[in-house]
Amino acid sequence: MPHGVHDGFPFCVYTIYTILYIMESDGAMTKSQTPTPYLRRGHNMSTNHNLQKKAAVINDFTSFGRCSLTVTIPILSALRVQCCPVPTAIFTNHTDYPSYAWTDYTEHLDDYICQWSRLGLRFDAIATGFLGSIPQVDFVKRFLHAFHDERTQVVVDPVMGDHGRLYATYNQDLANAMRSLLDVADILTPNLTEACALAGWPYNSEMTDGELADLCGELSGHHNARIVISGISRGDDIINFVHEPGQATALLPQRRIGTERCGTGDVFSSVIVADAVNGIPFVESVRRASAFVAKAVTRTMELGLPEADGLAFEDVLEDLIL
User: Are residues 224 and 187 in contact, defined by beta-carbon separation less than 8 angstroms?
Assistant: no
Q: What is the DSSP letter of 152?
A: P
Closest CA relative to residue 141, chosen from 312, 27, 230 = 27
CATH, residue 220: 3.40.1190.20
User: Are residues 297 and 261 in contact, defined by beta-carbon separation less than 8 angstroms?
Assistant: yes
**Assigned domain for 28 exists:** no
Q: Is 200 exposed, middle or buried (0-12, 13-18, 19+ CB in 10 A)?
A: exposed
Q: What is the pLDDT along the chain (322 residues), one digit of tens a residue?
A: 333 334 444 445 545 555 554 455 554 444 334 444 444 444 555 689 999 999 999 999 999 999 999 999 999 999 999 999 999 999 999 999 999 999 999 999 999 999 999 999 999 999 999 999 999 999 999 999 999 999 999 999 999 999 999 998 898 899 999 999 999 999 999 999 999 999 999 999 999 999 999 999 999 987 899 999 999 999 889 999 999 999 999 999 988 888 889 999 999 999 999 999 999 999 999 999 999 999 999 999 999 999 999 999 999 999 998 6
Q: What is the DSSP letter of 191?
A: B
**Assigned domain for 303 exists:** yes
Total number of domains constituting the chain:
1
CA distances from 31 to 26, 54, 270, 291, 315 (A): 11, 18, 25, 36, 41
Amino acid at 26: D
Question: pLDDT value at position 259?
Answer: 81
**Assigned domain for 133 exists:** yes
**Assigned domain for 21 exists:** no
**Assigned domain for 22 exists:** no
Q: Is 48 exposed, middle or buried (0-12, 13-18, 19+ CB in 10 A)?
A: exposed
User: What count of other Cβ atoms lies within 10 Å of the Cβ of residue 40?
Assistant: 9
Report the length, in residues, of the chain. Answer: 322
**Assigned domain for 99 exists:** yes
**Assigned domain for 18 exists:** no
Question: pLDDT value at position 45?
Answer: 55
Q: Is 111 exposed, middle or buried (0-12, 13-18, 19+ CB in 10 A)?
A: middle
**Assigned domain for 112 exists:** yes
CA distances from 209 to 128, 163, 254 (A): 27, 19, 16
Domain span at 298: 51-319
Question: pLDDT value at position 16?
Answer: 55
What's the angle, vertex CA 135, arms to CA 142 and CA 273, rounded to 5? 60
Question: pLDDT value at position 172?
Answer: 87
Q: How far apart are CA 242 and CA 226, in angstroms?
A: 8
Q: Is 125 exposed, middle or buried (0-12, 13-18, 19+ CB in 10 A)?
A: buried
User: Are residues 237 and 254 in contact, defined by beta-carbon separation less than 8 angstroms?
Assistant: yes
Q: How far apart are CA 187 and CA 162, in angstroms?
A: 19
User: Are residues 62 and 70 in contact, defined by beta-carbon separation less than 8 angstroms?
Assistant: yes
Q: How far apart are CA 122 and CA 51, in angstroms?
A: 10
